[in-house]
């Protein structure tokens, strides 16, 4: 399997990245260095996480060429609107101390404010100015995506959504496939816990001699998703990227498909203000 996926504008993005949600800014530089040492080349942060500065410091001190590191950040809900989005992007670049980001996402659609279309127009300017290599969204549902397509004509490169075997979102993934939008999974392991102790997952784990987390991450890759597992434990960071040396068979995939129950860990995108 190619470890990267081509976005709809030709940019290549690693299929497996490192998420830094809830890692404090003072600790994130060390965690990102650990991820780089394990082989990760994609880092996913956001204004909300308040650790962009540490992520940027890790990129700068890594010794890696900038073009080898794929950096994603996201616009927070309070910054929707054309001018507000441009100012927020400037602030993120300053925090990251970068000349550009590889992917910039609208974190949530916030339909109650009804400003995500004008926000998306600001994103169009950001990419046209060469300050982001790709633009996309996060937590958008089919009606939100369709409205962007209808009113701007610019198709998001990525939609990052809550996605795991207990919330498989087939309708949304089908829309992505029809329109050339890459599906990226946040909380790909459903924050561990019950999912990783499920009998189906444990059976596949024993069969392949891999951990339950590795099985679920491999499932995502074989379903065509980009995944961004998060950990601060060096052993777990290394384990989560060690998923390119085995494959699930059709029986494994069918078993994991039965775990769908529609359970969300995070809020519903239609209601988050």
And the tokens for 271? Answer: 């209601």
Question: 217 by DSSP, 3-state: which?
Answer: helix
What's the start-to-end Cα distance of the chain, in Å?
39
**Confidence (pLDDT) at 221:** 98
Residue 195 CB burial class (10 angstroms; 0-12, 13-18, ≥19): buried
For the chain, residues with pLDDT lower than 70 are none
> Cβ(105)–Cβ(136) under 8 Å?
yes
Query: From residue 14, how far is each of 40, 53, 249 by CA, in Å?
Result: 8, 22, 23
3 state DSSP class of 92:
helix
CA distance 268 to 216: 23
DSSP 78: G
d(CA 29, CA 156) in angstroms, rounded, equals: 29
Q: For the CA atoms of the chain, what is the radius of gyration? A: 18
Provide the whole-model pTM. Answer: 0.97
Phi, psi of 18 (to 5 degrees): -115, 120
User: Which residues participate in catalysis according to the annotation?
Assistant: 49
- Tell me which DSSP letter residue 101 carries: B
Cβ contact 18:229 at 8 Å: yes
60 Cα distance to chain centroid: 22
Give the strands of the sheet with 18-19, arranged side by side.
Answer: 18-19, 42-44, 70-75, 103-106, 135-138, 158-162, 182-186, 226-227
- For residues 257 and 264, what is the distance between their CA atoms, to the nearest angstrom? 16
Task: Please give the C-alpha separations between residue 43 and each of 25, 62, 160, in angstroms, as whole numbers.
Answer: 14, 13, 14
3-state secondary structure of 90: helix
Q: How far, in Å, are 54, 69, 188, 204 from residue 255 at the CA level?
A: 40, 35, 17, 9
Give the tens place of pLDDT for each residue, 170-202.
999 999 999 999 999 999 999 888 999 999 999
CB-count burial class (<10 Å; 0-12, 13-18, 19+) for 209:
exposed
In total, the chain counts a number of residues equal to 273
Provide the CATH topology of domain 4-190+219-232. Answer: TIM Barrel (3.20.20)
* Per-residue pLDDT at 193: 80
The DSSP symbol for 210 reads -
Q: Quick one: 147 exposed, middle or buried, by C-beta within 10 A (0-12, 13-18, 19+)?
A: middle
pLDDT value for 64:
98
């Amino acid at each position: 399997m190619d470890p990267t996926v081509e976005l709809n504008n030709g940019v290549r993005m690693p299929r497996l990245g490192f998420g830094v949600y809830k890692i404090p800014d003072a600790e994130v530089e060390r965690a990102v260095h650990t991820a780089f040492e394990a082989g990760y080349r994609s880092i996913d942060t956001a204004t909300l996480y308040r650790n962009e500065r540490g992520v940027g410091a890790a990129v700068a001190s890594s010794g890696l060429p900038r073009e080898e590191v794929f950096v994603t950040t996201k616009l927070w809900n309070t910054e929707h609107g054309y001018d507000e989005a441009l100012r927020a992007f400037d602030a993120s670049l300053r925090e990251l101390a970068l000349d550009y980001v590889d992917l910039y996402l609208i974190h949530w659609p916030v339909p109650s404010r009804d400003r995500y279309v004008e926000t998306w127009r600001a994103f169009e300017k950001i990419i046209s100015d060469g300050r982001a290599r790709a633009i996309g969204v996060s937590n958008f549902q089919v009606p939100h995506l369709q409205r962007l397509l209808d009113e701007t004509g610019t198709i998001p490169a990525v939609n990052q959504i809550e996605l795991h075997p207990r919330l498989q979102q087939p309708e949304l993934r089908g829309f992505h496939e029809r329109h050339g939008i890459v599906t990226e999974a946040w909380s790909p392991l459903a924050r561990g816990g019950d999912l990783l102790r499920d009998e189906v997952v444990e059976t596949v784990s024993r069969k392949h001699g891999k951990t339950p987390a590795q099985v679920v991450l491999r499932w995502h890759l074989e379903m065509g998703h980009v995944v961004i597992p998060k950990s601060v434990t060096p052993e777990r960071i290394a384990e989560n990227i060690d998923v390119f040396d085995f494959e699930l068979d059709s029986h494994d995939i069918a078993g994991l498909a039965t775990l769908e129950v529609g359970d969300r860990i995070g809020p519903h995108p239609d209601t988050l203000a």
